């Protein structure tokens, strides 16, 4: 019977491929939903990529290289700047051979690693899922195992979430101490960097925001450089521990010590060419400095950028915007329109929703409503302005967690806050 159904499958795939190509040419994203047969999807991919010839070309590669140059800051001041241009390219002294040894032990037994467990359970807790008493107890124990400074942040987060209260305000010294402690203890991980960055949303008044964000950029670069250094050294993990109850053999301990020393040397060499990863590259927004925007200064890591009127800046999550007292400060966005920044303040991306005019905020709320109703174009538009729209998206997901487009919006919001687990608990299991 396959020879009878094959022509119909081919025709169906041809129609779908035509629709996909039309949406690609109009700049729209395409998602095939429903119970499509894998056979149909393979035919669609074959027709689009192989037969029609839509794919990566030499011009695309050149365009991509140009985009990467732009992200590094060669052509425009973008967040993922060339790390060689930062103020300090030395690996922090908190990254030691002992810290790298702990890091290798953690990454070598990923299933029992405490960071993925904390990320998963904390994400469930924030999503409103009702954790069992033993799960909460284990989460507290794991938070306490992260040390005094970092453990205090995690335990305060757990207590506030269980009580349904806002997260506690964090001092600059507490957050900087937690960053340093995470590196000293080998708790170096992209999720941990993103978590510490999220806690900047509740920094105390008067905190040196550019200093904290610059330190977080270094922490994110450390998390990335250890992965690169581990790949460069290429020392295999000890997979023979199960063969002896006495622990690793003497030669295994020597090999691990040598691996830690070699990784530290490699990390120092690679640190200058390593950026902050997705924290620097994703969830950015492009703004044009208006004629009345001469009082704006962008602080990015150890650099100070002073854009002129008419310049286009790509604002990232690790950037701080300083507005001079009494100076006019205005930026423009192609969809959000004109935005007036408050003078005499230092803003992070967590403060940007507050500068939206009422009409613009209502436009974002309407886009969130349409995205929750499964409007793909509205979700795509929100993804382009996440620094301004993240708060409205969070509110919409809290009000309508089971909406048709809620799953898509959770994925969009995860691009901003990098929360690895954000689930909608069944109504009977919500707190």
- Which has the minimum average pLDDT: 24-28, 170-174, 388-392? 24-28
Length of the chain: 431
The total of other beta-carbon atoms located within 10 Å of residue 236's CB is 8
Q: What is the pLDDT of residue 85?
A: 39
Q: What is the pLDDT of residue 78?
A: 42
CA distance 422 to 413: 9
Buried/exposed code over 188-217 (b: 16+ C-beta within 10 A; e: otherwise) = bbbbbbbbbbbbbbebeeebebbebbbbbb
Cα-Cα-Cα-Cα torsion 369, 374, 377, 381, nearest 10 degrees, comes to: 40
Q: What is the pLDDT of residue 5?
A: 67
Checking if the pLDDT of 322 tops 50, the result is: yes
3-state SS string for 224-243: HHHHHHHHHHCCCCCCCHHH
CA distance 177 to 197: 13
Q: Tokens at residue 19, please?
A: 């629709």
CA distance 191 to 115: 8
Question: How confident is the model over 326-341, as a mean pLDDT?
Answer: 88
Checking if the pLDDT of 25 tops 80, the result is: no
pTM for the model: 0.76
The total of other beta-carbon atoms located within 10 Å of residue 336's CB is 21
pLDDT confidence of 80, banded at 50, 70, 90? very low
CA distance 380 to 229: 36
Question: How confident is the model over 350-354, as a mean pLDDT?
Answer: 95
Question: How confident is the model over 375-391, as a mean pLDDT?
Answer: 94
Instruction: Say if residue 263 is exposed, middle or buried (CB neighbours under 10 Å; 0-12, 13-18, 19+).
Output: buried
Domain boundaries, the chain: 2-55, 88-280, 282-348, 358-426
Q: What is the pLDDT of residue 422?
A: 53
Checking if the pLDDT of 87 tops 50, the result is: no
Residue-wise pLDDT tens digits, 142-186:
998 888 889 999 999 999 999 989 999 999 999 999 999 999 999
């Amino acid at each position: 019977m396959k020879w009878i159904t094959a022509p119909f499958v081919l025709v169906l795939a041809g129609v779908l491929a035509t629709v996909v190509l039309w949406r690609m040419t109009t700049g729209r994203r395409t998602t095939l939903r429903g119970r499509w047969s894998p056979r149909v999807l393979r035919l669609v991919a074959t027709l689009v990529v192989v037969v029609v010839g839509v794919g990566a070309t030499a011009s695309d590669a050149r365009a991509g290289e140009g985009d990467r140059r732009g992200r590094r800051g060669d052509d425009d001041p973008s967040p993922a700047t060339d790390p060689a241009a930062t103020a300090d390219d030395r690996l922090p002294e908190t990254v030691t051979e002992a810290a790298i040894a702990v890091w290798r032990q953690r990454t070598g037994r990923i299933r029992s690693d405490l960071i993925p467990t904390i990320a998963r359970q904390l994400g469930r807790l924030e999503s409103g899922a009702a954790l069992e008493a033993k799960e909460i107890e284990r989460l507290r124990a794991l938070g306490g195992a992260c040390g005094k400074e970092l453990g205090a942040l995690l335990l305060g987060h757990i207590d506030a979430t269980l009580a349904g209260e806002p997260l506690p305000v964090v001092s600059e010294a507490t957050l900087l101490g937690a960053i340093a402690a995470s590196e000293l203890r080998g708790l170096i991980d992209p999720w941990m960097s993103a978590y510490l960055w999220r806690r900047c949303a509740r920094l105390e008044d008067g905190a040196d925001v550019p200093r904290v964000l610059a330190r977080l950029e270094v922490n994110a670069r450390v998390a990335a450089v250890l992965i690169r250094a581990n790949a460069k050294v290429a020392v295999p993990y000890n997979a023979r521990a199960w063969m002896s109850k006495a622990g690793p053999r003497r030669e295994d301990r020597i090999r691990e010590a040598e691996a830690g020393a070699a990784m530290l040397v490699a990390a120092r060499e690679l640190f200058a060419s390593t950026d902050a990863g997705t924290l620097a590259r994703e969830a950015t927004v492009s703004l044009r400095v208006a004629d009345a925007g001469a009082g704006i200064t962008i602080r990015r890591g150890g650099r100070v950028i002073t854009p002129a009127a008419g310049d286009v800046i790509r604002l990232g999550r690790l950037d701080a915007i300083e507005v001079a007292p009494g100076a006019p400060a205005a930026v423009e966005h192609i969809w959000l329109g004109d935005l007036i920044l408050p003078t005499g303040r230092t803003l992070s991306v967590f403060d940007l929703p507050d500068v939206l005019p009422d009409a613009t905020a209502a436009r974002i709320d309407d886009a969130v409503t349409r995205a929750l109703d499964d409007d793909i174009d509205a979700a795509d538009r929100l993804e382009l302005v996440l620094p301004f729209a993240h708060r409205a998206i969070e509110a919409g997901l809290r009000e309508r967690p089971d909406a048709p487009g809620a799953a898509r919006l959770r994925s969009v919001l995860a691009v901003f806050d990098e929360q690895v687990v954000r689930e909608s608990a069944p109504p009977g299991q919500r707190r």
